[in-house]
Each structure stands twice: as structure tokens, then as C-alpha cells.
Amino acid sequence: MLVMSKFTVKTANAGAEAVIEEFLDALEAKSIERLLNVWHENGVLIMPFSPEGFPTRIEGKQAIRHHYGSLPMNCKFMCFPDRAFHFTNDPNRVWVEFCGEIKIKATGKSYNNAHVCLFTLRDGRIIEYKEYSNPLILLNSFGSP
């Protein structure tokens, strides 16, 4: 007997994966211009678990530039290993899990957090990026804003 599933097979999307890899690689290189190249002009960064005083939503490429702009001055080292891509039935939506290893210049502290992120692409660029991570680790490493 043949059993049909109501679920469809999720297939990899090399184009979406390349955009997301470039985003993470640009962060590691602390290259803001390179990072901005993968963002849609109307891109939105959403961080629903941000602690009080930290932004939960950043809209537009210029606001995103401002948000990431201080990384080269504030971070000595950034690395995002253990990247795992989880493709959905929508080729423009990809879940990605990765670790973040960041060394902060001012305090010498490390910010090591696990991230689960939902990337949504439009026209080959990031239109929405939802980042889920532990806010207590963020506060411990960066302190109050």
C-alpha cells in the first residue's frame, strides 16, 4: 500500500544559502558595506527577545547600517561557526542555526550565544531577518545599553 504524506519535501536553495552565508561572512569580516550589499533597501531586522533598552525592530537599510556600523570599533573578533540551514517549502524563507563567538574590545568579555534565525529574501536580498537568542547572555556581555 502506498501512503501519501501531507508534507512536501523541503529542498535546498543555493541562492538563498549564498546570500545568508555572505551576510554571516561579512559580519565576521566586520565589513559593513559588504554586509549591506545583501540587504534589501526596505529590509527589517527583528529581535523579539531583546532585553529592555536594546532594539527589537530596525527598519530600512540606513537604520540597519547605523545598527551594525559600530561593530568594527567595538568588536575585536567575530565568528559564526556551526551553521545549519533548514530549508522550508518557501524558497525565500530559510531557518539558520549558528553559534556566535564575539570578543568585545572595551570590556574584554566574550559574547558567546546560540542563534536561531529566520531569513526571508526578496529579489535575492534579505528583506526580513528575525534573530532569536538568549537575552541574558547579551546583557552579561554588553551590559545595559
- Whether 122 shows a pLDDT value over 90: the answer reads yes
Residue ranges of the domains in the chain? 14-142
Q: Which residues contact 80 (CB under 8 A, 6 or more apart)?
A: 24, 27, 28, 98, 99, 100, 101, 115
Residue-level pLDDT at 1? 43
Residue with the bigger pLDDT between 37 and 138: it is 37
Residue with the bigger pLDDT between 54 and 7: it is 54
Calpha distance 64→13 (Å, rounded): 25
Output the pTM of the full model. 0.88
For residue 123, name the pLDDT band (cuts at 50, 70, 90).
very high
Residue-level pLDDT at 145? 55
Domain 14-142 class in CATH: alpha beta
Instruction: Tell me if 94 sits within 8 A of 85, measured CB to CB.
Output: yes
pLDDT in tens, 26-79: 999 999 999 999 999 999 999 999 988 889 999 999 999 999 999 999 899 999
Residue type at position 115: H
Calpha distance 71→80 (Å, rounded): 14
